[in-house]
Structure 1
Amino acid sequence: MFQTSSFRITAEMLLLVAEIDEFKGAWRALGTLAPERLSALRRMATVESIGSSTRIEGSRLSDREVERLLSNLDIQSFDSRDEQEVAGYADVMETVFAAWAEIAITENHIRQLHRDLLRYSDKDERHRGDYKTTSNSVAAFDADGRKVGIVFETASPFETPQLMAELLTWFNQASNPAVSQARRDELHPLIAIGIFVVVFLAIHPFQDGNGRLSRVLTTLLLLRAGYAYVPYSSLETVIEQSKEGYYLALRQTQAGLRTDAPDWEPWLRFFLKALHRQMCRLREKVERERLLLAKLPDLALQILDHARDHGRVTIADAVTITGASRNTLKMHFKMLREQGYLTLHGQGRGAWYGLP
């Protein structure tokens, strides 16, 4: 299927892995923020992850639109495909966050996650949770929507079941220290996860939803490997911000997967850099939260909490939640704006404040 025996980790990769693992070990101490502050970080990261992952695949919903949709998920009915994709991604992410320890990396569980990912998608009803039955090679299209060529040839429907079985067997053995040490091919968990993702996307086992599912699986695998901080910082947003590099790295590695010496370095370098950026973004957020707790008065913290929870806050909202006078609150809003914690939108009665 694919060869990892010739794989060698570079000095750059080794440094990235070491810094990520250092943060992983320190997270217990870094994560001592008040529960409501951690909850706010997780809510923000979840919205970012859902918005970014669906936009990578063509959705046009902004994070704010995603947040509004998530606040009304109980309606169970959605007007557009974009909304259907967001709702399905939200459901699956909640499942992963709640039950990652019980979700073993098996074909059945991956099929179930795919089924739930597409549960609201009318177009995908016939193939939810089933491997593909027709070719889904990645194609290039011109401005008029006409196919002009194949960018990447994925596995055929006939090959897919066997290749998925081989991938899962390999990953579960590589993730089992006793087995990998006995075979002398032990890989660091982050390297094994990176290889799993690039091979999964090369197979492209489902008719649709493979990209979104690969990012769900990345989060699941990281949680199962002990990277408990991942729900609090969006890896999907890091990937969206470097989407061209993401696709280039995938193609560079996938082009040689069926040879005797695949070039893992382009993808693994991108993957580890993305994980490192995810870690740095969270570290910066935690430090900002600590500074907030140390420096800001209680009224200002209440205003910021409301802005994080609802995406926006007005002076009228602040009067309701704090009971303070408008004049007192105006001084706090002015301070938060000047220090860069809030930005003003609109004027007069319609004015509201959001996070930068």
Structure 2
Amino acid sequence: MATIESIGSSTRIEGSRLTNREVERLLSNLSIQSFDTRDEQEVAGYAELMDLVFSAWQDIPFNENHVKQLHQILLRHSEKDARHRGRYKTHSNSVAAFDESGRQLGVVFETATPFDTPRLMAELLSWVNDEQGKGQLHPLLIIAIFVVVFLEIHPFQDGNGRLSRVLTTLLLLQAGYAYVPYSSLESVIELNKEAYYLALRQTQSSIRTEAPTGSRG
């Protein structure tokens, strides 16, 4: 049930219209490998990636190569994403918000340029591994900072939001939060979507300063 909620919520946040019941029906026929719509293709890729993370999280090093591989799996069934699976973006993109019907509400914030993306991703993943090794920051702080910087960079042409939530799950499991497969972080984000987007937008202007906003309350 938690997995179905996670897959349904995470894809709906990005504009999918499939209900949890439709997601459950699709997952029961996943072996058929036949998906009629983009929503179904996205759900299938997300489901396969979640299954991999839950079963092999101990054996997935947190580095650029594996992040790219996870992105490739995420978009495995997405026909229109075939050209850029597992590759950093080559065109500018931005973080957009969507309503329940899948209609785009607007841009949440601008993201890194394609030119800067490889350098920024290398720096981010190096920082995560260094901080994990030092053991001075709480794991949740490291994960939270990773997620917001990852979304600020928006390294891939598409699938960044979904991948950020899978990577959150991976990092939580690797940090010892064993309950993660039995709860749905994605459904919490979906229920608080406005606050989620507001926090991202507030962070945009201060993420690389000494006085971050959006941390009150």
Q: Which amino acid aligns with 1:193?
A: I
Q: CA deviation at 1:137?
A: 2.0
Superposition map of 1:67-146 within 5 A: 67-138=24-95
Separation in 1, partners of 2:106, 2:163: 25
Unaligned segments of structure 2, at least 5 residues: 99-103
> 1-side partners of 2:82 and 2:15: how far apart?
19
Which of 122, 144, 161 is the matching residue for 1:194?
A: 144
Would you say 1:56 and 2:13 are equivalent positions?
A: yes
* Structure with higher helix content: 1
Residues 1:167 and 2:117 aligned together: no
Aligned counterparts of 2:199 and 2:56: Cα–Cα separation in 1 = 31
SS of 1:138's equivalent in the other structure is strand
TM-score by length of 2: 0.93
> Is the Cα–Cα contact under 8 Å of residues 54 and 86 in structure 1 kept in the other structure?
yes
Q: 1:76 to 1:248 in 2, by over 3 A?
A: same
Deviation sequence 1:279-310 (CA, Å, 0-9, x none) = xxxxxxxxxxxxxxxxxxxxxxxxxxxxxxxx
Contact 1:199 1:254 in 2 (8 A): no
**Is residue 198–residue 254 contact of structure 1 (8 Å, CA) maintained in 2?**
no
Label 1:125 to 1:58 Cα distance change in 2 as closer, same or farther (>3 A). Answer: same
Query: 1:46 aligns to what?
Result: 3
Rounded Cα–Cα distance in structure 1 between residues aligned with 2:121 and 2:31 = 34
Q: Is the 8 A contact 1:132 1:207 kept in 2?
A: yes
How far 1:139 moved relative to its partner? 5.4
Q: Distance in 1 between matches of 2:6 and 2:203?
A: 25
Q: What letter corresponds to residue 27 of structure 2 in structure 1?
A: L
Q: Which TM-score applies when normalising by structure 1?
A: 0.57
Distance 2:96 2:186 in 1: 23
How far did 1:152 drift? 1.3
The equivalences for 1:20-31 within 5 A come to: none
Cα shift at 1:251 = 1.2
Segments of 5+ residues of structure 1 without an aligned counterpart are 1-43, 142-146, 181-185, 270-356
Q: RMSD value over aligned CA atoms?
A: 2.1
Q: Is 1:52–1:240's contact at 8 Å kept on the other side of the alignment? A: yes
Give the secondary structure class of the aligned counterpart of 1:78: coil
Q: What is the CA–CA distance in structure 1 between the aligned matches of 2:97 and 2:40, rounded to whole Å?
A: 25
- Map of 1:241 onto structure 2: 191
**Identical columns (%):** 73
| Mapping of residues 324-335 of structure 1, within 5 Å | none
Alpha-carbon distance in structure 2 between the residues aligned to 1:196 and 1:264: 16
User: One-letter code of the match for 1:157?
Assistant: P
Of the candidates 136, 151, 154, which is equivalent to residue 204 of structure 1? Answer: 154
Cα separation, 1, equivalents of 2:106 and 2:5: 33
**Equivalent residue for 2:212?**
262
Q: CA deviation at 1:149?
A: 7.3
Equivalent-residue separation in structure 2 for 1:150 and 1:75 (angstroms): 37
Q: How many residues align?
A: 214
Opposite residue 251 of structure 1, the aligned amino acid is R
Note the alpha carbon deviations across 1:32-71, whole angstroms, 9 max, x for none.
xxxxxxxxxxxx1000000000000011100000000000
> Which has the higher mean CA deviation after the structures are superposed, 249-258 or 153-162?
249-258
TM-superposed deviation, 1:263: 3.4
Which deviations, in whole Å up to 9, do the C-alpha atoms of 1:222-273 show, x marking residues without a partner?
000000000001010011011000100111123212334333626xx7xxxx
Matched with 1:227 is 177
Distance 2:30 2:125 in 1: 33
> SS in structure 2 opposite 1:99?
helix
Give per-residue Cα distances to partners, 1:289-334, cap 9 Å, x unaligned: xxxxxxxxxxxxxxxxxxxxxxxxxxxxxxxxxxxxxxxxxxxxxx
**2:26 and 2:40 in contact (8 A); partners too:** yes
Q: Residues 139 and 250 (structure 1 numbering): CA distance in 2 closer, same or farther, change over 3 Å? A: closer
Q: Distance in 1 between matches of 2:79 and 2:31?
A: 18
Contact map agreement 2:172 2:180 (CA 8 A) in 1:
yes
Give the 3 Å change call, closer, same or farther, for CA 139–229 of structure 1 in structure 2: closer
Larger radius of gyration: 1
